[in-house]
Amino acid sequence: MKNLILMLTMAVVLLAGTVQAAPGTRSLQEGKPVITPDPTTCPNPERYVLNQDIFGMNQRLNRFLIEMYTSVSGEVQTILPPDRVRIDAYIQALENYRAWMVGQNFMDYPGTYKLYYCLPTNPNQIYVANEQIRDLINQTLVWQGELYISQSSRLTTGLLPADDTRLVSYMNRMKAYLTEYADLQPPPDYPRSTEMTRLISGEEPR
């Protein structure tokens, strides 16, 4: 019966527009996250979770990282007003997702519990001139890593109380960094150490 449920679940994934990446594995498209009954088929066999909510949070954090890596503010030494508004909106969206996660009833999914959600590789880390944007990126990477190795990552949905407390702390710390530090700093002028090499070569200045 469990095998039948598993087969039906994978068929639904196929009908949703996915393509087969390996036997028993379904991929949204090449290089994207996969859902598989065998974690050894993940692009990185050490990066997977059983928790679909943490998988969803990971995807949102990856998008947040991409937005920060490619922001105009990344090329200067201050967070420009449009990016500052966007960052607040990203954090609010993450807070809303977290509230939804912990507000739902726990789902045990006895028939499909052993479906593994393969985490995609993080966006390529490229040099960002803005120290404040770099700080936000580093905080996000730690936050993301702590989630995917947490005990909650072994659940099917939701967060254990201790992990939820940590997640709220990460969010509050990032908001405090913005309001208690970044917003208070006058734009510094670093004519010699700030270079536009990222736009030219994508490499960190030597």
Q: In the structure encoding, which two tokens stand for residue 198, read together?
A: 């990222």
55-67 per-residue burial string, b: 16 or more CB within 10 A, e: under 16: bebbeebbebbee
> Which is more confident, 11 or 121?
121
**If you search the block for the tokens 């809303």, which residue do you land on?**
96
Confidence check: pLDDT of 26 > 60: no
Q: Tell me what the mean pLDDT of segment 64-83 comes to.
A: 91
pLDDT in tens, 164-192: 999 999 999 999 999 999 999 888 777 66
**If you search the block for the tokens 């007003």, which residue do you land on?**
81
Mean of per-residue pLDDT scores for the chain: 79
Alpha-carbon distance of 6 to 156, in angstroms, equals 15
Domain boundaries, the chain: 33-200
Looking at residue 194, its pLDDT comes to 63
> Which is more confident, 31 or 148?
148
Is pTM beyond 0.85? Reply is no
The three-state secondary structure class of 27 is: strand
Looking at residue 97, its pLDDT comes to 97
